[in-house]
Amino acid sequence: MFPVPTSLSPSRVDAFTNCPLAFRFSSIEKLPEPPSVATTRGSLVHRALELLFVSPPAERTPDRLEAALETALDEYRALPDLVDLGLDGAGMQQFEAECRELTANYLRMEDPSTVREIGLELRLEAAVDGLTLRGVIDRLELDEHGGLVVTDYKTGRAPSANFEQKSLGGVHFYAFLCDQVFGQRPSAVRLMYLKSGETITATPSAQSVRFLTTRTRAVWHAVERACTNGEFRPRQSALCRSCAFQRWCPEFGGDPDRAAAEAGVTAGTTVTTGTTGTTGSTGSTSTDGTADTDGTDGTAAGLVRV
């Protein structure tokens, strides 16, 4: 009934496990989704940090980061991501202040002049049994021993201890992709929560990398079955409050089969999100704003939170 996707990313795995029906709307039927303040703010701050790391290490100063943020703001003022939010003067001032707070928090978390980056907004992909796994790494760097370190910026709140392992789902994806593309498993994956100033660091294990392929195959087979029989069932959760597809969800009295036709009339047929990323020394580019994560069984070893 629906075409079966041939690739998955951490965010798409997460989307399907959170709500198969929302996955159908966004990933299969590709219905447009309006931007939100949170996603636009996150993408813009990611862009500012990307621009900071284009500069030589000695020039990564607070003034340079402020200039990078201004450049990112100028870029986004012409994009639907920001324009379509419809912010008034006061709303825009608050939005900019929140972006500045996040970048200021970043500088309190690490000294960017000490980072040995080798890739920025880096798109990686690898094949597993005919399925392409894709992910975007915010920053790939080398540690003091030459090991790979993946750094992922997060602009939302840090998870509680009970949900900490779920937030590390992307760790397994990143570890697998680095292992496949570079022949080296990262020595560490760092999640930097800019809002709170916390950093969660995990050391991926061989077991977690193996689990990633097993779990992703299982999710993909579930997607394949749903595409074949048309059964993308809704799953109610707290995410429903911000779901752009609620009007077509049967849990809220909607008709999923009317979504494609009505979305084309009421919301347009295209959506632009994110900006074009700058290439790192690895020579890859990305148009993704952020790299999201999916839930796992928590098999990463050496979890540290600071």
Residue 112 has what pLDDT? Answer: 98
What's the pLDDT band for 205 if we cut at 50, 70, 90? confident
Rounded Cα gap, residues 200 and 204, in angstroms: 13
Output the 3-class SS for 142-202: ECCCCCEEEEEEECCCCCCHHHHHHHCHHHHHHHHHHHHHHCCCCCEEEEEECCCCEEEEE
* Domain membership of residue 220 as a residue range: 1-293+300-306
Number of structural domains found in the chain? 1
Helix axes 62-76, 89-109, angle to 10 degrees: 140
> What is the pairing mode between strands 148-154 and 301-305?
unpaired
Q: What CATH number is associated with residue 174?
A: 3.90.320
Report how far apart the first and last C-alpha atoms of the chain are (Å, whole number): 48
Q: Are 208 and 299 in contact (CB under 8 A)?
A: yes
Rounded Cα gap, residues 241 and 235, in angstroms: 12
How confident is the model over 95-148, as pLDDT tens digits? 999 999 999 999 999 999 999 999 999 999 998 888 899 999 999 999 999 999
264 pLDDT higher than 80: no
